[in-house]
Homo-oligomer: A and B are copies of this chain.
Amino acid sequence: MKKKITIRDLAKEAGVSVTTVSQILNNKGDRFSTATQERVLALRDKYKYVPDFNARNLILKSAKTIGVLVPNIANPFFGTFVEGVQSIAREAEFIPLVFSANRDPKLEKYYLSQMIERSISGLVIASATMTTETIKEVISFNEIPYILFDQNHTQEGDRVQTNDYLGGQIAAKHLVELGHKHIAVLTSDNPTENLNHRMNGFKNIIKENNLSLAPINDVIRAPLTKDGGYKAAKDVLATGASAVFAANDEMAIGLLRGLHELDVKIPEDISVIGYDNIYWDDYVYPRLTTVQQPIFDLGAGATKMLIEQISHSSAEARVQNFPVKLIKRDSTSSYRPK
A interface residues (Cβ-Cβ under 8 A, vs B): 1-2, 48, 50-55, 57-58, 61, 63, 73-76, 79-80, 82-83, 86, 90, 95, 97-100, 107, 110, 113-114, 116-119, 141-144, 226, 230, 253-254, 256-257, 260, 279-280, 282-285, 287
* A1-B143, A142-B2 known; A74 vs B79 contact (CB < 8 Å): yes
* A79-B79, A86-B100 known; A283 vs B63 contact (CB < 8 Å): no
Q: B285–A51 contact, CB under 8 A?
A: no
Residues of B within 8 A of A253 (CB): 283
* A74-B83, A75-B79 known; A1 vs B53 contact (CB < 8 Å): no
Residues of B within 8 A of A282 (CB): 226, 257
Q: A141–B48 contact, CB under 8 A?
A: yes
Q: A117–B53 contact, CB under 8 A?
A: yes
Q: B280–A280 contact, CB under 8 A?
A: yes
A51 to chain B, nearest CB (A): 7
Q: Please, how many angstroms separate the alpha-carbon atoms of A230 and B58 in the complex?
A: 51
Q: Please, how many angstroms separate the alpha-carbon atoms of A337 and B59 in the complex?
A: 75
The secondary-structure label for the interface of chain A is helix
Q: B50–A54 contact, CB under 8 A?
A: no
Q: Please, how many angstroms separate the alpha-carbon atoms of A288 and B110 in the complex?
A: 37
Q: B50–A58 contact, CB under 8 A?
A: no
Q: List 21 A-B contacts (CB under 8 A).
A: A1-B143, A50-B117, A51-B117, A53-B54, A54-B55, A54-B63, A73-B86, A74-B80, A74-B83, A76-B76, A82-B100, A86-B100, A95-B97, A95-B114, A95-B118, A97-B97, A226-B282, A254-B283, A257-B282, A257-B283, A257-B285
Q: A52–B58 contact, CB under 8 A?
A: yes
Partner of A54, one of B74, B95, B119, B287: B119
Residues of B within 8 A of A51 (CB): 117
- Residue in A1, A110, A254 whose Cβ sees the most chain B Cβ within 10 Å: A1
Residues of B within 8 A of A1 (CB): 61, 119, 142-144
Q: Please, how many angstroms separate the alpha-carbon atoms of A257 and B97 in the complex?
A: 35
Residue in chain B with minimal CB distance to A138: B48
* A253-B283, A280-B280 known; A118 vs B53 contact (CB < 8 Å): yes
Residues of B within 8 A of A114 (CB): 95
Q: Please, how many angstroms separate the alpha-carbon atoms of A230 and B280 in the complex?
A: 13
A215 to chain B, nearest CB (A): 29
Partner of A82, one of B73, B142, B280: B73
Residues of B within 8 A of A116 (CB): 50
Residue in chain B with minimal CB distance to A257: B283
